[in-house]
C-alpha cells in the first residue's frame, strides 16, 4: 500500500452530507446513455441490426425480381408505373425490423439480471419504472439505425424513393412509435423472466404472425379473411401502409394520419401498461 495515511485522504474527500442531489432525470439519462453506449460500442450489435433487413431485401426482393411486371402490377395494385417489388417491400421490411428490435431490449434486460447488474441498479434509489422505460427507449433507438442503411441499400438496388420532408418526418415518427410500442411489449412480457430463451420464444409467437399478417411483404388484399382480420388491427401493418404511402407512392393522406395516430396510441398504451407491470414484476435476478 502506497497511501501513507488512507483515513486522512478519505476524510479530505468527504464534503458535508450529500444534500446536493439532482433530479430523477439523472437516473433516466444515465441508464439511457448506458444502453446507447453498450449498443453502439458493440460491433456485432450493429452488424446484426443492419444485416437482417438487408438480407430481406436481397433474398426476398431477389426472388421476386424475375416476376413479369404485368404480374407484379396486378399483384401490387394501384402502383404507379415502374414500381418494383423492392420498393413495395422496403417499407414493410423496415416496419418488421422495428417490431423485432424489441427482442434486443428484452435480451439486454435478462443479461442485466443474469450478471447481477440489475441488483447494482436497484440498490440505488432508482425505480423499476425508470429501468423499464430506459430499456424500451434504448431498444427503439437501436432500431432507428436500420433506417439510413436500408434506404442506402434500397437506392443501391435501384429503388426510387418519394415523399416530402414532412411526409418523411411522419413516416419516421411512425417507425419510432412502432419500435417503442413493441419494445415496451416485449419488455413487459419478459420483466419477470431470467431465462435467456424467453425473448426468443415470445418473439416467435408475436413476430412471426404479425409479420405475415401485416401486409408488409404482400398486399393484404390477397389474404384470406382471418388473416385480414389480424392485419386490420396489426400495428406493423399500419406502419407498413404509412411507410409505403410515403416512400413508394409519395403521398401522405388523411388515412395515413389515422395510421400515425393509431401507432401513437399503440405506443402509449404499451408503455403505460408495461410501466405498471414492470413496476410490480420486474425481477432483480
Partner 1 sequence: MSANGWAIHAQGLTKRYGSLVAVDHVDLEVPAGSVFGLLGPNGAGKTTIIKVLTGLSDITEGTAHVAGYDVRRDPMHVKQRVGWVAAEVILDDDLSGWENLWLQAKLERLSDWKGRAEQLLAYFELTDRRKDKVGTYSTGMRKKMEIALALLHQPEVIFMDEPTIGLDANVRRMLWELITGVNKQFGVTVLLTSHYIEEADVLCDRVAIIDHGRFVATGTPSELKGRVKADFVEIETSEALDPARLRAIAGVTDVRSQGNAWILRVGSAEEALPRLFHALQTDRIRRINVEKPSLESVFIDITGKRIEQAGSDVQDYRKFYLNVRRARR
Is 137 or 170 the residue whose CB approaches partner 1 more closely? 137
Residue in the structure block whose three cell numbers are 449498443: 39
Contact residue for partner 1 among 4, 12, 70, 156 (CB under 8 A): 12
Closest CA to 61 of 141, 158, 147, 146: 158
DSSP 159: P
Closest CA to 187 of 275, 75, 106: 106
Question: Would you give the distance in Å from CA 194 to the centre of its chain?
Answer: 21
CB of 133 to partner 1, least distance (A): 14
Of residues 83-122, those binding partner 1 (CB under 8 A): 114-117, 119-122
Of residues 247-276, those binding partner 1 (CB under 8 A): none
Distances (CA, A) of 247 to 25, 88, 90, 155, 160: 37, 9, 9, 12, 8
Contact residue for partner 1 among 6, 62, 148, 261 (CB under 8 A): 6
Asked if 184 contacts 269 with a C-beta cutoff of 8 angstroms, the reply is no
Is 21 or 78 the residue whose CB approaches partner 1 more closely? 21
In angstroms, the CA 157 to CA 154 distance is: 5
CB of 233 to partner 1, least distance (A): 38
Is 121 or 220 the residue whose CB approaches partner 1 more closely? 121
In angstroms, the CA 144 to CA 149 distance is: 10
Distances (CA, A) of 171 to 149, 192, 280: 16, 33, 34
Contact residue for partner 1 among 41, 43, 70, 81 (CB under 8 A): 41
CB of 282 to partner 1, least distance (A): 12
CB of 29 to partner 1, least distance (A): 7
The yes or no reply on residue 224 touching partner 1 (CB under 8 A) is: no
Of residues 122-181, those binding partner 1 (CB under 8 A): 122-127
Contact residue for partner 1 among 4, 20, 81, 224 (CB under 8 A): 20
CB of 44 to partner 1, least distance (A): 12
**Phi/psi of residue 62, each to 5°?**
-60, -40
CB of 3 to partner 1, least distance (A): 6
The yes or no reply on residue 48 touching partner 1 (CB under 8 A) is: no
CB of 255 to partner 1, least distance (A): 43
Retrieve residue 170's grid coordinates: 411522419
The yes or no reply on residue 17 touching partner 1 (CB under 8 A) is: yes
Asked if 107 contacts 35 with a C-beta cutoff of 8 angstroms, the reply is no
Asked if 139 contacts 102 with a C-beta cutoff of 8 angstroms, the reply is yes
Contacts to partner 1 by CB under 8 A: 1-3, 6-7, 9-15, 17-18, 20-24, 26-27, 29-31, 33-34, 37-38, 41-42, 114-117, 119-127, 284
Amino acid at each position: 500500500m502506497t497511501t501513507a495515511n488512507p483515513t486522512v485522504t478519505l476524510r479530505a474527500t468527504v464534503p458535508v452530507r450529500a444534500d446536493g442531489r439532482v433530479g430523477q432525470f439523472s437516473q433516466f439519462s444515465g441508464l439511457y446513455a448506458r444502453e446507447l453506449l453498450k449498443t453502439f460500442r458493440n460491433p456485432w450489435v450493429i452488424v446484426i441490426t443492419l444485416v437482417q433487413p438487408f438480407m430481406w431485401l436481397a433474398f426476398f426482393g431477389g426472388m421476386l425480381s424475375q416476376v413479369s411486371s404485368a404480374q407484379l402490377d396486378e399483384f401490387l395494385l394501384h402502383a404507379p408505373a415502374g414500381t418494383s417489388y423492392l420498393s413495395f417491400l422496403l417499407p414493410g421490411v423496415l416496419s418488421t425490423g422495428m417490431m423485432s428490435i424489441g427482442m434486443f431490449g428484452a435480451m439486454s434486460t435478462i443479461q442485466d439480471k443474469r450478471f447481477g447488474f440489475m441488483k447494482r441498479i436497484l440498490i440505488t434509489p432508482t425505480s423499476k419504472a425508470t429501468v423499464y422505460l430506459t430499456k424500451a427507449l434504448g431498444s427503439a433507438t437501436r432500431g432507428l439505425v436500420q433506417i439510413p442503411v436500408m434506404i442506402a441499400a434500397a437506392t443501391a438496388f435501384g429503388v426510387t424513393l418519394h415523399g416530402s420532408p414532412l411526409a418523411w418526418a411522419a413516416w419516421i415518427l411512425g417507425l419510432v412509435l412502432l419500435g417503442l410500442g413493441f419494445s415496451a411489449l416485449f419488455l413487459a412480457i419478459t420483466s419477470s423472466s431470467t431465462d435467456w430463451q424467453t425473448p426468443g420464444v415470445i418473439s416467435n409467437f408475436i413476430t412471426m404472425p404479425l409479420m405475415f399478417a401485416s401486409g408488409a411483404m404482400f398486399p393484404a388484399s390477397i389474404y384470406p379473411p382471418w388473416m385480414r382480420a389480424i392485419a386490420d388491427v396489426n400495428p406493423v401493418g399500419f406502419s407498413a401502409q404509412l411507410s409505403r404511402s410515403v416512400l413508394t407512392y409519395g403521398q401522405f393522406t388523411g388515412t395515413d394520419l389515422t395510421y400515425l395516430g393509431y401507432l401513437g396510441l399503440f405506443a402509449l398504451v404499451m408503455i403505460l401498461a408495461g410501466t405498471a407491470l414492470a413496476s410490480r414484476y420486474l425481477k432483480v435476478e
